[in-house]
Every structure is written in structure tokens, then in C-alpha cells.
Structure 1
Amino acid sequence: MKKNPNDAKAKLQFSECNKVVKRDAFLKAIEVGDAPSAAEGLDLEHMAVEADYDGVRLEKEMTLEFIDDMVERFKNGKKIHRKYVYQIILAVKDLVYNEPTMVETFVKEGHKLTVCGDTHGQYFDLLEIFRLSGRPSPTHGYLFNGDFVDRGSWSTEVALLLYAYKMLYPTTFFLNRGNHETDDMNRMYGFEGECKHKYSERVFKVFSESFSALPLATLIGEKYLVLHGGLFSDDDISLDDIRKLNRHKQRQPGQSGLMMEMLWTDPQKEPGRGPSKRGVGMQFGPDVTKRFCERNGLEAVIRSHEVRMEGYEVEHDGRCITVFSAPRYCDSTENKGAYINVGSDYKLDFHKFEAVPHPPIKPMAYAASSALGMM
């Protein structure tokens, strides 16, 4: 720029370099904890709930009565009070922050765990899962494998309901992070806009902090590794590497590394590894899955991240299972949804379901205009 101040190409490259430098400085500030929390200064104790608020009141602990009332409010297009929104998000942020990067759980005799894939803001289809499979309870756990938000136009309702159940049943209700529990995706595909429209920008920022605290994987009965995207570019990655990963050091997944691969990769039919059709991450073949499962004593990897027309697909000789729980995705793909029930015998019981009607609000109603062309 000093040599050729009027060079248009140099100007453009200089501008892009400046953006990168600023971004890296911002990420370093986050790593050392310099960035203030959006929750700082929130005085929930003295935040008043107006006398004419017509919903159930939430005290310190979550209750089924509050959840039932919230479910009905959301079905009728109502909101919950902003105090309760903050209260739920902050409580769950603390809960999940203290969980390991890979949660390890077992299914007790007489208990059941239901594994769900992407729900993508499809609130009424989420309620259908609970109707068909049964509501969460101390003996009926759930694991939602990321992508709770974006695209569908009831993302705040989905996230708040899942968080409320996590608050009520912290040891049997599990949430893995997906690639849409990230800032760049939320800005593009609607969650940030929806939070601003229904609540406030600060609600989005507090949600963002809670998303970055979520675990990245769940190990069920030492048999099934559940993570949103898939496997790795390096054959030497083990369950211990996931256990040791400090997800709190890097809030957003970036363009490379273990966290990015856990959130973004996809299976392919061909052996080996290939480039990703998404432009982020890569694809892994049946031989990669076989080696990973054998080295780590696993029966299979369960992942989500991709639409499957029947709601689920078993591939890679039974070792790679995709489950997707947003039927009639974006009101345009005629796919079924699915979920997997796991009992104490650790056999996988697959269930498919159809989309249910919803109010006439289109998908991506709150998305950035540039994302609408990607539908």
C-alpha cells in the first residue's frame, strides 16, 4: 500500500488482512478471558415480573408446571418473561460448562435414553417427538445431538424448552453442540435475528455463551460415540483426545482442528478421506470408521448433521449411523424425522415420524437476506 497507494487490488488485500488481524486479536482476547460476559450486570434477583404476566412464575428451581405452561404459551405464539429467559439460559450455561467435553453415560435397568438429531427450530415437530416417544423424566433420558436452532422459525422456543428440561433433569437430559450452535451460522441462518425480534440482542449473546459451553460428544455405555458431525482427518485421534480437549479455550470452532471436525465432517461411501461438499471439514469413508471403532472399542458412531429421507441411515457396515429429527426440513424436503431409543441392553430401536402442521410462518423468517438464496 505504501508503494502503490492507488492499487485497487492492494487496497482489497490490505482490507482483508486487517480483518484477519482484528479477528485473531479478538479470539486471543476471548482465550485469556478479556471479553466481558453478556450476563455481566444482569440483576435477575431484582428484575421485576409485571403483575399482569399471565404465565406460571419460575422461582429458583425448574418445575414441570412451568414447562407445561411454557409449552402451551409457545404453541399459542406467546413468550415467557425475559427474566425467565435469562434465568434458564444462565442456569444451563453453568450446568453444561461443568460437564466434560465428552459426557459419559450409561442406561440403567428399566430406564431408556432417546437420541435425537437436528431439530432446527421446528418446535411443533419437537413436541411430536415427546408425544410419540414419551416426555423426559428421571427414567427416560434424552440426548439432542446439536443443531437445535436456525432455519426453522421457532428456534428460541426449541432452545428454551430443551434448556428447561436440562435444568429440570440435569443428569439424564443431554445436549451436544452442533455446527449451528455457533455465532457465524446463527447470524446467517436466523437465530440471532429471531432472538432480537422476540427478545433482545442481549438474549442472543447470552445464548451464544451457553452454546460455546456445550459438550461436543456423548459416550453411551462405552459402545456408541454420539457427536454432531463425524470423524477425524487423523487416524490417531482417540476417545482420550476428545476427553482432553479443552473446549472452553476456543469458543468458536474455526476452520480447522478437532472441534471443527467434530461439528462439520460427513461420511462418504468411498474408502479413505475426501474433500467436503460444504467447504468446511472433510468426508470419511467406511475404512476410517472401522479403524476408529476398533481402536476405541466402539460398536458404532452416531451422528446427525445431514438430512436423511427416512429420518435415519445406517452405513459403513453398521458402524456409522445418521439420525435427523427435523421432518419436512424447511417445509421443502419431503423427509421423515427419526429418533433412536436405547435401553439397558444397548440395542438401538429406530423410530420414524412425519412432520406435523405448524402456524403459517415460513422457515428462515429471521435469517439474513444473503442466506435466503441458499435455501
Structure 2
Amino acid sequence: MTAAHKKAAEAGQEEGLNTLPARLSEPPEGYSGWLADLKDRIHTAQQRASLAVNRELVLLYWQIGQDILARQAAQGWGAKVIERLSQDLGAAFPEMKGFSSRNLKYMRAFAEAWPSEEFVQQAAAQLPWFHLCTLIDKLKTPEAREWYLRKAVEHNWSRNILVMQIESRLLERSGAAVTNFALSLPKPQSDLARESLKDPYRFDFLGLTEEAQEREIEGALVKHVTSFLLELGAGFAFVGRQVLLDVGGEEFFLDLLFYHLKLRCYVVIELKAGKFKPDQLGQLSFYLTAVDAQVKHPTDGPTIGLLLCKSKNQVVAEYALRDKSQPLGVAEYQLVESLPPELLSSLPSIEQIERELAGTGLPERERMD
């Protein structure tokens, strides 16, 4: 490099350094709050835009499906017209990927499943398209499709979670526990409480054998608390395991304590590794009395008790609950169930759950003052 070239290069480097942005000074008072507000508004606008795009797409697909249905019915067109339509729409809109023959058949099935445009606009259009395809594929009755659709909207389920809930027969299990809520709780709280419990509960994610003991199951549930909360359902918040209650100088430990955000009450869960026995409700009833006296806030609702057992006689459980004044329920749990391979992939891995729990420092025993 000649001396002239070297001098020019050094000059360029100096010029480049001079063009670097000046060091930002400390933001003025109130700036951080304003910036956080702007970020929230931008995120909200992005979400609204995404929802609007999805809504328009779903309505378009429904209208195309309606057209296909109407023309096939009126003019006797066969299934081959869908192949022809796919080719023509694909040629006209090459940048769009939604006009395959398969997707056009879904559009037809979508319009057939939900013939009411009003329902599509108000409910169905709140879900992404492939959620709706899942409902069409996996459910056969309008009632079941609408129930899962509304639950998916209410709880913002991902497609994998929606599949898992359908495969685990959530609809059939919801509200199926034996309870005395109709007699022990006022409406509408009794209905909401009943719908909040299932029977049976599926603990497929624990990897335990049928011979697992109560403490082993309890410890595994806490370790896999993410999946456990998903199985319990919306509204449950984990409070603690082996929660200590001091009653008259004696110590008692609750297996699992939760708080239900919708019911605004504590929920005590006791695990029994064997078959349900009526006298087990006496211990659970005592725990409810203690929680109501020592833990719950005056504005909270009555504490609810759920006895989870390996098996139960339905009639025996109903008789045992009939004369109890406190809100109690009895349900079974299942430890080992065979899940489809595609469903297993949607469950959180042990590593994921352990990462989520890392640093929480949940104590083995937690004293309630």
C-alpha cells in the first residue's frame, strides 16, 4: 500500500468513527412508563391486525365452502369440480397457498359443519383455520364441535392442546365427578364448581405404574405441575404440597392445596391409592373446616374438597356425600393410559417442566399462618 493510500484509509476510518451515534443520555423522567405503554399499544395493535386477518380468511373459506355446497346441490357437480377449482384458483393466485384440493374440501366440510354465518362470524372466526380443521377431523357431532370450539376460544388453546383435550375426551369427563355441590353451594356457583371437576383424571404424564403409592404420585404431580394444572383445568392455581395446618397444637398436612380463581375459593385435594371408602370423607371434611377457619379470606367462598382415588363405587360415593354439608367431590384418577404417538409429542417434556420449576423453591411442607 502506498503512503497516499494508507493516509486515505486512515482518514476513512476516522470519518467512520465520527459517524457512530452519540452515546444516549439518561431518559427524561416519565419516559420509561411512556415507552412501556407504547409497547403495549403496539402489541395490541399487532394482535388485533392478526385477528382481523384471520377472521377475514375464515369467512372467505366459509363462503367458498358454501358456494361449493350450493352449486354441487343445485347443478349436480361432482367431486372433480374441486380439483378443477383448485387448479384455476392456484393459477389465478399463485402467491396464496390455501387453494389445494385438500383445503377446498375442508372449506366445504367447514360450511357443512357450521351452516350459520352468524355463528361463524361471532365464534368460529376467533380460531385459526387449522384449529377448525382439527374440530372437523376429530369430532362428528355439532354439539361436540361447538363445545370444544368455545373452550378453545375461552382458554386460548394451541392446536396441540386442542388435540390433546379432544383425545383425552375432556367433554365426557367434565362435570362427571360425584359431588354434593347442588346441595352445599348456591347457584350459579354450584354449577361452575361441578363443571370444574372431572372424572376420571388422567395422569398419563407421570410415567408411574399402577402400583404407585400416594406420596409417589403426589411428588410426581408437583414435579410435573405444568401438566397437572392443564389436566385440572382453567382456573386452578397451585398453592402447595403437604401444607401444614396447626389445629390445637397438633400438626396436619394437606396433600395438595389449590386456589380456584373463578370460584374464588381454596380447593383441597387428597389422594388415595386404593378404592374409595366413605370414612375417607371424614378426614377431608376436617381439612375443609381447618382451611375455612385458618386460611381463607372472609370474601372467599367455602373451601371445596376433592378426593382422588384409584377406583370407586358410584352408588357408595353418592350415598357417602348425601348427608355432608360441605362441598365435596369424589373422582377417580388413571395413571397409565396409552396415548397416540402424535399426542405424546404435544405434551411438555420432563426437561421443559423442570426448567419451568427451576428456581421456584417449592417447599416440601408449607406452613399457613
TM-score by length of 1: 0.29
Q: In terms of Rg, which structure is larger?
A: 2
Which has the larger share of helix? Answer: 2
TM-score by length of 2: 0.30
